[in-house]
Amino acid sequence: MNPETTVGPTGANFVDGRLDAKIPPGPIEQKWERHRFEMKLVSPANRRRYTILVVGSGLAGASAAATLGELGYHVKCFSYHDSPRRAHSVAAQGGINAAKNYRNDGDSVFRLFSDTVRGGDFRAREANVYRLAELSLNIIDQCVAQGVPFAREYGGLLDTRSFGGAQVSRTFYARGQTGQQLLLGSYQALERQIALGTVTMDTRTEMLDLVVVNGRARGIVTRDLVTGAVESHAGDAVVLTTGGYSNVFYLSTNAKASNATAIWRAHKRGAFFADPGFTQIHPTCIPASGEHQSKLTLMSESLRNDGRVWVPKEIGDTRPPDQIPDSERDYYLERKYPSYGNLAPRDIASRAAKEVCDEKRGVGPGGRGVYLDFADAIERFGEAAIREKYGNLFDMYERITGDNAYRIPMRIYPAPHYTMGGLWVDYNLMATIPGLFVAGEANFSDHGANRLGASALMQGLADGYFILPYTLADYLAHTRPEGVDTGHPAFRAAQAGIAERVRRLLGINGQRSVDSFHRELGQLLWDYCGMARNDAGLRHALQKIPELRAEFWENVRVLEGSEEVNQSLEQAGRVADFLELAELMCIDAHHRRESCGGHFREESQTPDGEARRDDEHFAYVAAWEYTGMLARPFLHKEPLAFEYVHLTQRSYK
């Protein structure tokens, strides 16, 4: 069967060399409402004839798969974990934003929208962000109905707290485990659909390639991580919800298995990659303790509600923190940003920490750390109140460092945490390959050049529960259901390609472990494409990365075979893709000669060291097309217009 013969209009968003973000017309507060009405529906009787492949089962994937299953589509969901509940969304700590204005403190959909656009330093698409703010209201309702145990006040109403980049209290939370509780909510909804038979779940199954037939995403190739079997799966649409790529830095707050393989494979099959250089370095993580460090642990941003960040005023002051009097401490965030203080956005707080450490005023081993001090809050509210709010975080800190943060201040340092970049999608969350949808952190999304705290959970769930079910339906309604056919030559070719790649990785039998390459790549990126970037450093990295990649393919050692669990082999495939993506990150960071949000180009700063945007030349989304040559991707620009939140230099002073 030739699928092409039955294809209807696909709603392609890249036509004649031009990107079309498909932003609906009309005033911003009516765009989504009108679009929902104008999109076509699939009648309930026809839905089960469509097969939708959902790759990833974190917040975005589980919520999408569950909701599409509830609607009656035939959904196949894939995860490389042993259970959807392990997805890294589980580790999000602090909370989820919603413009409920339950506090009566001046919040509104418009304010959440405006804070998010400003927080992202004007590099996000206004229409998407507005829709996100709008849907934030429904998300909290949905999660409460599912039984997510959010924090409550004594009257039984929901409690909220403040997060960085906002002057209202709009963050809903479940102690320090908000991500876990939200994920369990969508995981349980997903398991319910699995029991009902609308969703089939393939766990311990990793997507290794995307199959495109006649210009449309029609399936995926996977490897069974237990048996090693390489298999094809066909569907009418493919949804990627596979998270971000901070793990490219090796030391990050991401889980060890977090990877970019699914989105990178899709990129190489024709999906544009947007703003790959936009990475978020989170200001409050536990500093590395030595060479053996395998990952970094985040301490929730919510701690900055009550913790005060400081370093000694004098260089070389090695006294223990309790012996440094207040007058000799520099509460540098409060000093530099009096109106937001310790709640300055992440990019700003991270850079400020780097700055004081570069001045040799950092604390702890190696001088790469600053204090996060709760002494004042404990004196004001009592230890019990602080324990109630952050107990599990203090416990985690003590387990890792051996220090009791109720007595001595925490030591923190920034670490890679989130990637705002990702596959380019239009307003319907469709990539430049028709039929390929991308949701959650995997898309370049709504956060611009810096994501505000408590916005990632919001975006993942907005995409999965409330956006994809509509936009996918519209795509499918224009597409005749194809049934399942993995016999097409495109499937056979992709499958053979993956099998060959596995054989190649196993056949190199060189001298270095996968981990050693990953560490070296991570260090390169951290040094030259981390918190501060410059022309010379990025050029250096762009020379080194291809060398390291070449060495990898000649000298990596992957033992054992492919017919059973082989964790080195899994990791080797992921690191091989990181070695390619890293180059694109540096190319993107190099081409963007402005500073914005988390992307700080040393050449572009204000006299007092803040990021200086260049709206005249860079107010666009950089969408990179794979050309077959990693070093020569083609740049497409989606211009960004700001009609509602006016372009101004960001100020949190």
Partner 1 sequence: MNFTLRVWRQKNGSDRGRFVIYRAKKISSDMSFLEMLDAVNEELIARGQAPIAFEHDCREGICGACGFMINGVAHGPKRGTTVCQLHMRSFKDGDHLTLEPWRARALPVIKDLIVDRSAFDRIIQAGGFISASTGSAPDANAILVPKPDADLAFDAAACIGCGACVAACPNASAMLFAAAKVSHLGFLPQGQPERYQRVRTIVALMDREMFGSCTNIGECEAVCPKEISLFFIARMNRDLLAATVRGRQASP
Alpha-carbon distance of 630 to 580, in angstroms, equals 7
**Least distance to partner 1, CB of residue 635, Å:** 35
> Which residues touch 311 (CB under 8 Å, ≥6 apart)?
329, 330, 332, 356, 357, 361, 362, 363, 370, 371
223 is catalytic: no
Closest CA to 463 of 67, 41, 120: 67
* For partner 1, the closer CB: 84 or 165: 84
Q: How would DSSP label each residue in 347-396?
A: HHHHHHHHHHHHTT---SGGG--EEEE-HHHHHHH-HHHHHHHHHHHHHH
* For partner 1, the closer CB: 156 or 628: 156
Alpha-carbon distance of 255 to 631, in angstroms, equals 29
**Least distance to partner 1, CB of residue 318, Å:** 20
**Least distance to partner 1, CB of residue 589, Å:** 28
> Which residues touch 227 (CB under 8 Å, ≥6 apart)?
563, 564
User: Residues 612, 596: contact at Cβ < 8 Å?
Assistant: no
* For partner 1, the closer CB: 399 or 632: 399
* For partner 1, the closer CB: 145 or 629: 145
Alpha-carbon distance of 497 to 190, in angstroms, equals 32
* For partner 1, the closer CB: 293 or 404: 293
CA distances (Å), origin 246, targets 52, 260, 282, 360: 28, 9, 11, 27
**Least distance to partner 1, CB of residue 356, Å:** 24
Label the pairing between strands 160-161 and 199-202: unpaired
**Least distance to partner 1, CB of residue 145, Å:** 4
Alpha-carbon distance of 217 to 431, in angstroms, equals 10
**Least distance to partner 1, CB of residue 404, Å:** 14
Alpha-carbon distance of 58 to 86, in angstroms, equals 8
Strands (E), 98-193: 160-161, 171-172
**Least distance to partner 1, CB of residue 117, Å:** 25
* For partner 1, the closer CB: 297 or 534: 297
Closest CA to 575 of 531, 517, 621, 504: 517
Query: Hey, which residues does 172 pair with through a beta bridge?
Result: 96, 160
Q: How many CB atoms lie within 10 A of CB 39?
A: 17
* For partner 1, the closer CB: 205 or 232: 205
CA distances (Å), origin 286, targets 525, 542, 653: 20, 29, 27
Alpha-carbon distance of 117 to 119, in angstroms, equals 5
Alpha-carbon distance of 234 to 297, in angstroms, equals 38
Given 346, 574, 592, 613, which residue is catalytic? 346
> Which residues touch 128 (CB under 8 Å, ≥6 apart)?
427, 445, 446
* For partner 1, the closer CB: 117 or 190: 190
**Least distance to partner 1, CB of residue 601, Å:** 32
* For partner 1, the closer CB: 191 or 583: 191
Alpha-carbon distance of 307 to 161, in angstroms, equals 14
Query: Hey, which residues does 436 pair with through a beta bridge?
Result: 238
Active site residues: 346
